Amino acid sequence: MATPAIGRLGIWSMEMRFGDKPQSNAAAAQLDALGYGALWIPGGIDDGAPAEVERLLAVTSRMTIATGILNIWKHDPEELAAWFLALPQEWRARTLIGLGISHGPLIGESWGKPLEVTAAFLDRLAAAGMPRDNLCLAALGPKMVTLSGERTAGAHPYLATPEHSRRARAILGPEPLLAPEQGVVLEADPAKARELAVAALEHYRRLPNYRNNWVRLGFSEGEIEALDDHLLDALFAIGGVEAAARRVAAHLDAGADHVCLQVIAGPRGGSFDQLLPQWRELAEALA
């Protein structure tokens, strides 16, 4: 089975998973019609994302539904493979399962070495018949990026930069998928835009996987702790659709195949009334 087609542009949305279901279904159908290649939903906090993938597959006809990501501590690999293999063929062709190791502070005492745990999970998935082309990894560090290219379709980095895309492509080589998430703040007022970016980043800056990656990319511990403008501007495309277009182009020029945009419309996400016009504006500007 080939890797699902995801095009060059997608949407990453927490609201599409956790928001009002009828509104989410209607919004997914609109994203499909707007031409986005993939819709990415999170799955890190629980084991409920596969059911949400099915829901979104049922209300769309063309775009791929992807997870960014399924937390491997929350899933049994044999059960996950059995779920995937039971999907209709046409749905399997539009399903991309992003997997991630999560974070030591969130997992607690059962936390193990990320590479070893991830590789063992992939071994069990493969033994249960899960096609590697329908998998990708939330890869930030060089070794996890390498594993993503060797054992899955490729890498889905989160809260990374075009420079990370350049480094990841150098590790992956030309063939594996590279599909970074990119935060977008379409707010004209610079002070309000930075408030939204700070609120979106506050939780993540405490997690070592992200902090370590930002340090590798050249940011100081002081910039990370203060959520300095240098860090915010590197991680988010802040301003109008022109800023988003420049950032997408920078990722693609650095070697990304696909960029999934996460629109930051409010301090705790956004309503579909806020998000849909912005998703539409981005589709029209970046198509």
Residue pLDDT, tens place only, 213-263: 999 999 999 999 999 999 999 999 999 999 999 999 999 999 999 999 999
Residue 1 has pLDDT above 80, yes or no: no
Q: Which residue has the higher pLDDT, 152 or 103?
A: 152
Residue 85 has pLDDT above 70, yes or no: yes
40: which DSSP letter?
Answer: E
Model confidence, pTM: 0.96
The average pLDDT across 78-102 equals 96
Omega before 69 within 30 of 0, i.e. cis:
yes
Domains of the chain: 9-286 (3.20.20.30)
Q: Which residues have CB under 8 Å from 180's CB, separation 6+? A: 156, 157, 158, 160, 164, 165, 168, 251, 256, 259, 260
pLDDT more than 70, % of the chain: 95
The average pLDDT across 156-182 equals 98
Residues in the chain: 287
Residue 203 is predicted with a pLDDT of 87
Confidence label for 109 from pLDDT (cuts 50, 70 and 90): low
Confidence label for 153 from pLDDT (cuts 50, 70 and 90): very high
Q: Which range is least confidently modeled, 89-98, 124-133, 205-214, 274-283?
A: 205-214
Average pLDDT value over all residues in the chain:
94
- Output the six-digit token pair for 205: 């800056």
Residue 267 has pLDDT above 90, yes or no: no
Residue 270 is predicted with a pLDDT of 82
Half-sphere exposure of 180 (CA within 13 A, CB side): 28
